Amino acid sequence: MYFSTRRHDPPPAGYFIRAHICAAAFFLFLTGCSSTPDYPSAAPPPLPQAGLRGYASWYGPPYHGRKTANGEIYDMYALTAAHRTLPFNSRVRVKRLDSGEFVDVRINDRGPFVNDRVIDLSKGAAGKINMISKGIAYVKLILLRVPPVKNSRWLILIGRFRNRKEAVNFTSQMNKRSKKSRIVRGWHGDRNRYHVQLKGFRNRQRAINLKNLLKRKGYDAFLVRIK
């Protein structure tokens, strides 16, 4: 600002107070106009609170050395985890609510497919919060980084069919609701059981509605992000 060297009469009382108030109001106006949302436009919305608390489990052998859902080779000693809907490479803090212990993990796999569980940790991550011997721990998930994803696709995984015929009968009933289905042998290590994948969902809410309907009918149904 330019200051004159000439002498001026002192400003009237309250001048500086009014000036500071006006400046503060103008600053708040500018910051309000330039604010941005917490999540990029292509990122998924925050998980509901119900999805941020629940039981964590862990998995190791026989999955060590096999491919994960994102195509990596699973290293059970790395600090990674499986989650049903978070984008791959999301970073999550998993905090035990009984002891306060926590571990930061990267999502590179899908699961767990058990109703009361929210995340499946690698053996290395489970060891960091001392839950290997017990197998599960009640935790809170804190999202540290969720990468943006465009054109997400979803599937519904339904498990515990007693035989292939039962799974085939189910998929025939779902023809009008899903463009594509797949029958897979095996459910939680039991090769005598089958599970079904209903694919072709681009609308997340449509997939959620069908998943909730199936659960009300007594099926073990889970929403899973493909991409």
Output the DSSP codes for 202-214: --HHHHHHHHHHH
61 with 135, same domain?
yes
On whether both 127 and 159 belong to a single domain, the answer is no
Which pLDDT tens digit goes with each residue over 66-117? 999 999 999 999 999 999 999 999 999 999 999 999 999 999 999 999 988 9
Of residues 147 and 45, the one with the higher pLDDT is 147
Rounded average pLDDT over 39-47:
47
To the nearest whole percent, how much of the chain has pLDDT over 90?
70
Same domain? 181 vs 209:
yes
Q: How many CB atoms lie within 10 A of CB 94?
A: 25
The domain boundary residue, chosen from 145, 166, 191 = 145
In one-letter notation, the amino acid at residue 117 is R
Q: Average of pLDDT values for 33-38?
A: 35
Give domain status of residue 74, yes or no: yes
Mean pLDDT, rounded, for 49-69: 90
pLDDT (0 to 100) of residue 179: 78
pLDDT given at position 34: 34
Mark whether 76 and 59 lie in a shared domain: yes
Q: Is the pLDDT of residue 9 over 60?
A: no
Top-confidence residue, 114 or 29 = 114
In a domain, 30, yes or no: no
Same domain, 197 and 113: no
All residues at 6 or more sequence positions from 59 whose CB lies less than 8 Å from its CB, including other chains: 76, 82, 111, 112, 120, 121, 122, 123
136 plus 55 within the same structural domain: yes
What the block records as the tokens of 129 is 């919060």
Matching residue, tokens 């199936």: 214
Q: Average pLDDT, stretch 118-129? A: 98
Please check the confidence at residue 30 and state whether its pLDDT lies above 60: no
Q: Is the residue at 24 inside a domain?
A: no
Which of 105, 127, 145 marks a domain boundary? 145
In terms of domains, do 108 and 180 share one? no
pLDDT at residue 178, as a whole number: 87
Residue 177 lies in domain: 154-225
Residue 50 — very low, low, confident or very high, per pLDDT cuts 50/70/90? low
CA distances, 167 to each of 84, 88, 158 (Å): 22, 29, 9
89 lies in the same domain as 138: yes
State how beta strands 190-201 and 136-145 pair: unpaired
Which is it for strands 102-109 and 80-82: parallel, antiparallel or unpaired? parallel
Q: Taking a C-beta distance cutoff of 8 angstroms, is the pair 191, 213 a contact? A: no
Residue 211 covered by a domain = yes
Q: Average pLDDT of the chain?
A: 83
Pull the structure tokens for residue 55.
Answer: 């039981």
CATH number of the domain within which 217 lies: 3.30.70.120
Q: How many domains is the chain built from?
A: 2
Tell me: cis bond preceding 62? Omega within 30 of 0 counts: yes
Task: For residue 180, tell me if it sits in a domain.
Answer: yes
- 44 Cβ neighbours under 8 A, 6+ residues apart: 85, 86, 87, 146, 149, 152
Domain boundary among 128, 145, 162: 145
